Chain A
Amino acid sequence: MNDKVISLLCGVIFGLGLVVSGMTNPSKVIGFLSITHNWDASLIFVMGGAILIFAPFFYFLKNREASALGFEIELPSKQEVDRRLVIGSALFGVGWGLVGLCPGPSISALTSPGISGLAVFDPIVIIFLLSMAIGIVVNKNLLQKTIQNKKLNV
Chain B
Amino acid sequence: MNNFTPISALAGGIMIGLSVVLYFYTTGRLAGVSGIVENAITKKANRLSNIFFLLGLVLGPLLYGITKEPIAIAFTLPDHSFAITDSYPLIIIGGLLVGLGTRLGGGCTSGHGICGIGRLSSSSIIATVVFVGVGMLTVTILQQSGIYL
Contact = CB atoms under 8 A, between A and B. Distances in A.
B60 to A, nearest CB: 2
Contact of A131 (B58, B99, B109): B99
Contact of A140 (B38, B114, B128): B38
B41 A103 contact: no
A18 B95 CA distance: 19
Given A11-B57, A13-B60, A81-B126, A38 B1 contact: yes
A49 B9 contact: yes
A54 B20 contact: yes
B6 A45 contact: yes
B73 to A, nearest CB: 13
Interface residues of A, number: 122
Interface in B94-122: 94-106, 108-110, 112-115, 117-122
A140 to B, nearest CB: 5
A93 B129 CA distance: 10
A33 B149 CA distance: 13
A12 B86 CA distance: 28
Tell me which of A92, A95, A141 has the highest count of chain B C-beta atoms within 10 A of its own C-beta: A92
B100 A139 contact: yes
A5 B26 CA distance: 11
A92 B97 contact: yes
Contacts of A106: 95, 98
A98 B26 contact: no
A37 to B, nearest CB: 6
16 contacts: A1-B26, A7-B52, A38-B1, A40-B1, A42-B8, A51-B17, A85-B105, A86-B130, A88-B127, A89-B127, A102-B102, A130-B95, A131-B92, A134-B95, A136-B102, A138-B96
> Which 10 residue pairs spanning A and B have beta carbons closest together?
A11-B56, A15-B60, A135-B99, A21-B12, A49-B13, A131-B95, A88-B105, A97-B138, A53-B17, A93-B134
Interface of B: 1-6, 8-31, 33-34, 37-38, 41-42, 46, 48-50, 52-65, 68, 71, 75, 77, 80-86, 88, 90-106, 108-110, 112-115, 117-124, 126-128, 130-140, 142-143, 148
